[in-house]
Amino acid sequence: MTDEARPIEDVNADAIIRQKLMDAEIPGAVIEFDPEEADRAGAFVEDALSEEDARAAEDGLEPATPAPTATRSLLTLARVKN
């Protein structure tokens, strides 16, 4: 569907939503969406993995090797220096 086939209101609403989404990427910016805008922007689309899909994605992966632990903590080392 092209922009010409859609009503002007829809095109303008999409442009406003696009601008709001770009503005929302600015750290600290507070951008408000009304419920219709949020719905059109895809805010309520459930696209998370199911638990079954997440577990299937783990198959064949080896557990991560734990990072080596230091014998002394940084706090202990700092106390020894002072």
pLDDT tens sequence across 6-20: 777 888 889 999 999
How many folded domains does the chain comprise? 1
Q: Give the pTM.
A: 0.47
Determine contact, residues 31/5, Cβ cutoff 8 Å. Answer: no
Q: Does residue 61 form part of some domain? A: no
Q: What is the average pLDDT value for the chain, to the nearest integer?
A: 80
Nearest to 30 by CA among 39, 45, 20, 38: 20
Nearest to 20 by CA among 2, 3, 40: 40
- Domain range for 1: 1-46
Token pair of 29, please?
């910016």
Q: Does residue 63 form part of some domain? A: no
Q: Does residue 70 form part of some domain? A: no
Residue 32's Cβ-side half-sphere holds a number of Cα atoms within 13 Å equal to 1
